[in-house]
Amino acid sequence: MRIVVDTNLLVSGVIAAGLPRQLVDAARSGVFELCTSEVLLAELLDVLGRKKFAVRLAQAGLTAQGLVDDLRALAVVVWPTDVPRVVPTDADDDHVLAAALAGAADLIASGDKRDLLPLQSYQGMPIVTARQTLVRLELIDG
């Protein structure tokens, strides 16, 4: 199964314990194929580089660039040729959808309750929470 994991879940997955961490760990273990784009990786680097996260990463002996490089090496990185305007309230989220389409993803995992999750699906790809993704992967009970 190929999954695009939204930046907010990736950030949570690398800085804290919980369901997003289980999702990142599942990708690292090869349970599913992580799909992303250079635009999404750049966004992740930007967010992890923010002071509030940089301090936590430094305390753990990690760097934002190192984490992004690890995820880049793990993931299928796609180069969408078209980024349609779909999410009216956040153009950045259009890049998540474009990566999913370009990568022929099976689903999109997101924690974005305002913009992405309300769409429920895009071009036949379900947009679901970390918990719903882990249930679909049969890693936790529904």
Give the Cα separation of 44 and 65 in Å (integer): 9
Q: Is 139 left (phi over 0), alpha (psi -120 to 50) or beta?
A: alpha
Beta carbons within 8 Å of 104's beta carbon, 6+ residues apart: 2
Sketch out the chain's domains with CATH numbers.
2-136 (3.40.50.1010)
Residue whose C-alpha is closest to residue 1's, from 39, 27, 36: 27
- Give the pLDDT of the chain (142 residues) as one tens digit per residue: 999 999 999 999 988 889 999 999 999 999 999 999 999 999 999 999 999 898 889 888 999 999 999 999 999 999 998 888 888 788 889 999 999 999 999 999 999 999 999 999 999 999 999 999 999 999 998 7
Cα of 91 vs its chain's centroid, Å: 16
